[in-house]
Structure 1
């Protein structure tokens, strides 16, 4: 049977202008591998906890203390829990609480000449880690956009001179995905 590829649209909830990615992922990937795809496609550094919510069920890394009731993401394949048209959620960093909306836009047969996963498209840079969630990111964007803002210098220094909120390179994201996933 030919390998199925899921075309996913991943968008960061609560952020304007929108930050999103379109990725192609093998349906046989487990949710822990999908976690890595979201991390590298978006631009996160994978230094916080995460979970998926699919049809009201929570998946992630099991909590050794048993405080979080999560099903083990290592045991669940993408093609077992979603199909074309499915919507589900991924939350990263339970402090900043970055919610991602995922939509299965299409399911197709793998192209034998293509390497997966890959990032087809997207817009805007991922917010910096530990910026304070969507509200903190809005403060950062406002400060960076206005040289007269009282926090402009401090925020520019904190985010780094190279941080450009409008920048995104799908080819670079694909290279990372292929190396790390």
Structure 2
């Protein structure tokens, strides 16, 4: 007799609004995430939704607790292993907002609001997806919010002393307003 491992069916879906802090105009995404998704998978979903490349360490700050992947290169003394916790277990019905930090060198901080906790409708909202968003994600390793503002200034001005260098580094023009809902959902779909 063989038994197959079956995933728990989601009961609820969280509608989350992710906002990248310290950048104007605001860079944001609205996503749906089933309650059965592990925090480690939510990391990958946020990465895909925002446009990050998962090249750096990260952590979650939820209800005065830190979650992430334990790592010897940084302070993970009180860090809870994100692979052991589902979104539903850590957010429940009470959590209204939490934080996600990415790339401790550049210091990207994200505020995530729990907009709604919705019942699952099979075949309609029982998988992770992006519903909306605005503005392009900054490039990886651009130097955090101040570095990104400098990058934008240089890219907009052909006479800027670093324009050609950034142009080569990025690979051409950069549209800070660029956001494609289709591209984001294709990236999220590849995670399934």
Q: Normalising to structure 2: TM-score of the pair?
A: 0.87
Offset at 1:146? 2.0
Query: Hey, what's the Cα distance between the residues in 1 that align with 2:184 and 2:56?
Result: 20
Question: Cα deviations across residues 2-34 of structure 1 (Å, max 9, x unaligned)?
Answer: 621100001111111111110000011111011
Question: Cα deviations across residues 16-70 of structure 1 (Å, max 9, x unaligned)?
Answer: 1111110000011111011011000111110111000011111000124783221
Offset at 1:84? 6.4
After superposition, the Cα gap between the structure-2 partners of 1:122 and 1:10, relative to the gap in structure 1 and judged at 3 Å, is same
The residue aligned with 2:84 is 75
After superposition, the Cα gap between the structure-2 partners of 1:72 and 1:2, relative to the gap in structure 1 and judged at 3 Å, is closer
The residue aligned with 2:49 is 41
| Aligned-CA RMSD value | 1.8
**Does the CA-based 8 Å contact 1:146-1:152 persist in structure 2?**
yes
Offset at 1:153? 1.7
Question: Cα deviations across residues 125-162 of structure 1 (Å, max 9, x unaligned)?
Answer: 11111000111001011111222222222222212215
Query: Hey, what's the Cα distance between the residues in 2 that align with 1:28 and 1:74?
Result: 12
Structure 2 residue 180 is matched with structure 1 residue 172: no
Query: Hey, what's the Cα distance between the residues in 2 that align with 1:22 and 1:66?
Result: 30
**Aligned 1:121-132 pairs, distance under 5 A:** 121-132=132-143
Residue aligned with 2:190, SS: helix
The residue aligned with 1:60 is 68
The residue aligned with 1:160 is 171
Query: Hey, what's the Cα distance between the residues in 2 that align with 1:172 and 1:87?
Result: 26
Structure 2 residue 102 is matched with structure 1 residue 92: yes
**Aligned 1:13-28 pairs, distance under 5 A:** 13-28=21-36
Paired residues in the alignment total 181
Query: Hey, what's the Cα distance between the residues in 2 that align with 1:74 and 1:91?
Result: 17
The residue aligned with 2:144 is 133
Structure 2 residue 15 is matched with structure 1 residue 3: no
Q: Which runs of 5+ in 1 are unaligned?
A: none
Flag the structure with larger Rg: 2
